[in-house]
Amino acid sequence: MATSGSVDFSITRDNIITEALQLVGVIGEGETPNTNQKSDCSRSLNMMIKFWMADGMNLFVNQEIVMFPIKGQRQYTFGGSSVDNMAKESEVITTKLNGGVSSGATSLTVDDTTGMAVGDVIGVVTDSAGIHFSTITAVGSSTTLTIADAIDDDASDNDRVYTYTNAFTQRILNINNAWIRTTDDTDIPIDVISRQEYVDLSKKTESGRINQLYFDPQVTTANMNVWPVPDDSYTNDRIHLYVTRAYEDFDGVTNESEADFPQEWYLPLCWGLAVFIGPKYGVSDTRLAELLQISSALKSECDDWSTEKQSLFLLPADRQGTYRR
């Protein structure tokens, strides 16, 4: 028997709202929500998702991003329109200069321009151990390109060149893991420390290679303080961060964008919204209890499925109850 071969089923905000309103009995089969219902339910849907995020539903919004440290800069900002140079790791293209360039140059020859386009951000490692950032204004061939801002220092043959199309501007909820990747692609772990541990650092402007960071989340943005502060010797390093970002909102009355969720979460979204909106539409206590029971079961199943598997280590204890390594 032939099967569809398709696994790309998706739903929109309005699909979720329609399902929820049918579950609470506000609309019937074949009916569609009116404008006010869409607006009210969209607001409830966004609030529900924010609440679920606080409950730890984060596995599918964990992403690896790359940041480029700046000499002497201690604090870096996530989220909003003004962010430091960072991008999703999967979108960063790395190549090398094919021949050195002098300060003031805007034309570069690299090993390969595959994947690069006009408007992309470009960072060129220079001889002063800094990274010169600009944008690409022309891709002339498979190896040549032009940048908007002239190189501010000499750069040598085989120096690294990084490009990416979209800066990472999303709100960060947490930094789960961090490491330095050196120019020879060696990874060195960075400790993510607490506020108190960062406060206890006596000289926060000490320079060197980053080995600790403190993540400071704010209402709409977040800051990351690094220690030591990168100096000339280590600004060629890249900071790799495994972060948890916020789920994207369902915005606008006419929004038809797909859910920022895996397919397995579609049912919990619909039933969960039905529970959230039930009281405002006068759903009976009996029906609300039924909805809550099914919604809780569905979400619990998906919570278990969405939990990242980890190793379990057991340590023997001596007679005093002290664990020995």
pLDDT in tens, 224-274: 999 999 987 787 789 999 998 877 777 754 556 667 777 888 899 999 999
What average pLDDT does the chain have? 87
73-114: pLDDT as tens digits? 999 988 876 567 889 999 999 999 999 999 999 999 999 999
The fold for domain 89-164 equals Elongation Factor Tu (Ef-tu); domain 3 (2.40.30)
Structure tokens at 297: 């079961």
Burial class (CB in 10 A: 0-12, 13-18, 19+), 102: exposed
**Rounded CA separation 97/206 (Å):** 32
Neighbours of 325 (CB within 10 A): 5
* CATH 2.40.30 intervals, the chain: 89-164
272-282: pLDDT as tens digits? 999 999 999 99
Work out the average pLDDT over 205-220.
92
More confident residue, 183 or 100: 100
